Amino acid sequence: MKPEVGIDATAAAAAEVTPRVGVSSCLLGEPVRYNGGHSRNRFVSDVLAGYVEWVPVCPEIEIGLGAPRESLHLTGEGQLVSGSGEDHTAAVTALAHRRRAGLNGLDGYVVKSRSPSCGLYSVRVHANGRIVAGNGRGLFAARMLAADPQLPAEEEGRLNDPLLRESFVERVWARARLSQLFGGRWRLRDLIGFHARHKLQLMAHDPARAHQAGHLIAVAHGRADGEVRAEYTALFAEALARRVSRARHCNAMHHAFGLVSDHLDDTRRHDILDTIDAYRRGEVPLSVPVTLLRHHAEGCNASYLAAQTYLDPFPAGLGLRNHAPGPGQSGRGTAPKTAAEPTKGGRG
């Protein structure tokens, strides 16, 4: 992989962003649950909170139900009803329509699992007074994601999985950087530089779409900016939605190694390659070989590599690459949709 024009080490620093992320209010500790309580999540309220701008949302409160309130449930017909049979479907649908303008520009969304309004994968579905499924999608979440299918969204319970957590946060920061680019005045050369900085990151996720995105830019001259923006945004989001396997991480790191290899002696070369191999075997976390590559990129003045977002896809303070992968954690494919979780705490 040859260095490209339009990239320097300061470009990556200029891409520092503060993502704007929607969140179910109860996860921040707000007492808005049906029972007047909350579902404060430590990672959301104590860790991510220091790096993002939260946009709290509680559909039940916003349609005037208050807390405490009668619990709600989702029906097989996609209706949101209370235990006494009152139908709130129209009110929540109208709220989602009104809120779209205020929620435009989000870089991600963290929702309350099992919530009949906000849950993504694990909402219980009722029919004839009994639970008939456990993999429904909350009404408000369904309406919001229908309006923005590329929005990175995740349930707070699934963020306990280190691979899902890393994947979600990486997508949020990547989308924030792209939004920063397209949110201002940009020219094709700016997109060329952006893509160059993200090349290793995209290759690690989805080599085919990374190539397609590069080809799109190569033939973009003379095309309407709006068309280029829309096509690149879709390819970028689709590529990053594929979680990185350990093998593709190793492939990306070997590409990175090739950019500094000529500047190193044999001892340092073997040190890097041995550390990458230790990661491949699941013996060390990803942060170990990546830190070594970053150190040598800076020490060798390899500006192209030093500017790669693959080395720093999100703030290091989040500590998301510090977990050692277990033998079965290949991270292949897109994030899986989990089976329904236990029924405890599933009410709105």
As a whole number of angstroms, the distance between CA 72 and CA 87 comes to 9
> In the chain, where does DSSP find H-type helix?
9-14, 42, 59-62, 89-103, 139-147, 162-182, 188-197, 199-205, 207-218, 225-240, 246-260, 266-280, 287-299, 303-306
- Look at 134 and 198; give whichever has higher pLDDT: 198
Please state, as a whole number, how many other Cβ atoms lie within 10 Å of the Cβ of residue 233: 17
Task: Give the pTM.
Answer: 0.89
Q: 81-133, pLDDT tens digit by residue?
A: 998 999 999 999 999 999 988 788 899 999 999 999 999 998 999 998 899 99
pLDDT(256) > 60: yes
pLDDT(11) > 50: no
Q: 275-295, pLDDT tens digit by residue?
A: 999 999 999 999 999 999 999
Q: 169-182, pLDDT tens digit by residue?
A: 999 999 999 999 99
Question: What are the domain boundaries of the chain?
Answer: 20-162, 246-318
As a whole number of angstroms, the distance between CA 140 and CA 227 comes to 30
pLDDT(342) > 50: no
The DSSP call for residue 131 is E
Please give the backbone phi and psi of residue 19, each rounded to the nearest 5 degrees, phi first: -60, 145
